[in-house]
Amino acid sequence: MASRLHFGDDDFLRCRFAISPLWETQEAVRTLKRPDRHAYQAPWLRRIRDAAAGLDLAPLWLLMPRRGHSPDWLGAPPIGPAATFEEEIAAVRASDPEAAREDTARALACTPGALESSQGRAWLAAPARMIQGLADTVEEAWRVLIAPDWPRLRALLEADVAFHSRRLAEVGLGTLLPELDTRLSWDDRTLTLAGHVEYTRALAGQGLVLMPSVFSWPDVVTGFEPPWQPTLVYPARGIAGLWTESGERTPEALVRLLGRNRATVLSALTEPATTSALVHRLGLAASSVSSHLTVLRDAGLLTARRYGHQVLYERTPLGVALASSGQDSRPTNRTHP
């Protein structure tokens, strides 16, 4: 079985990347109930365990079947390339009640007994109230689970977009798409995702939104129904090191050469990141991080590249070689999605 997305001439001109804090919130909630997703998220799961225990996430979990449909209105494709959570949740609250009712009924049908449950009946009887109640639950999940770490998550997602945008310029869309995940293939203007469902959609001039995700790993997700824009959600690069603290990856030889904080900044840039993301991740003062980045860039160890309103710093080949020179060379079993 497979999902197939068929491209027309206009679709090649309307493909874009996007990041969605709403999607990450939804998928973080889903991850709490999915042990197969816990491998790379274990440090995060340990840290938020007590806070998550205070949330009532049962209504959201009822709409997240392991196999089957989840409501598109509640986790729609992003409305822009870098929409804020506030913008996305406002769009959720503005959902058409009748459309949301039909979409929710389809999701409930994927879980035995859910349509006939008291919760399911209440939602379908009062869809406007359902929309506001579920939006409140998602907003609380965002505040507790995602918002404290959003600078770090956003930096990793932006780094993925920057990398794949560069690959798109180098190799073109037909080569890029299969590089996003091994389950994707490209042939005769058709993108195929090998999986557990049979789904076909002609993009019909809407193009395709390409969206990296931290919490969707290891899944690749598509299947959004009209009128939603076709979207492909894939695991972001760098997930394996996302929750690794800087002290765990700063070689002592590099510390002796550059000093503790400067070596920490260089070592932390395993993926491109912004100044604010490094400040959040490393716990250093913004002025200190900015100064270290300037020195490292002037020394030829980093490059700086603008992405939207932010500047991403990335190690040069010399920076990579220097940061790697002090690392333990013994093999490791850690893999990268």
List the chain pLDDT tens, one digit each, 337 residues.
Answer: 889 999 999 999 999 999 999 999 999 999 999 999 998 899 999 999 999 999 999 999 999 998 888 999 998 888 887 889 999 999 999 999 999 999 999 999 999 999 999 999 999 999 999 999 999 999 999 999 999 999 889 888 888 888 898 889 989 999 999 999 999 999 989 999 998 778 899 999 999 999 999 999 999 998 788 888 899 999 998 887 788 665 556 777 788 888 889 999 998 887 788 888 888 878 889 999 999 999 999 999 998 887 667 788 888 878 887 887 655 433 333 233 3
Q: pTM for this structure?
A: 0.77
> What do you get for the CA distance between the two ends of the chain, in Å?
23
Give, for 161, the enclosing helix (H) or strand (E): helix 150-171
**What is the model's pLDDT at position 179?**
93
Residue whose token pair is 């389950």:
183
Could you please report the per-residue DSSP string of 239-297? Answer: GGGTT--GGGG--HHHHHHH-HHHHHHHHHTTS-B-HHHHHHHH---HHHHHHHHHHHH
Domain extent listing, the chain:
2-235, 244-325
pLDDT (0 to 100) of residue 198: 83
Name the CA radius of gyration of the chain, rounded.
Answer: 21
Write the CA distances from 218 to 161, 195, 323, integer angstroms.
18, 12, 29
CB atoms inside a 10 Å sphere around CB 304: 13
Dist. CA 290–CA 292, nearest whole Å: 6
> How far is C-alpha 84 from the geometric centre of its chain's CA atoms?
14
- 3-state SS string for 3-31: EEEECCHHHHHCCEECCCHHHHHHHHHHH
Strands 2-6 and 190-194: antiparallel
CATH code for the structural domain at 244-325: 1.10.10.10
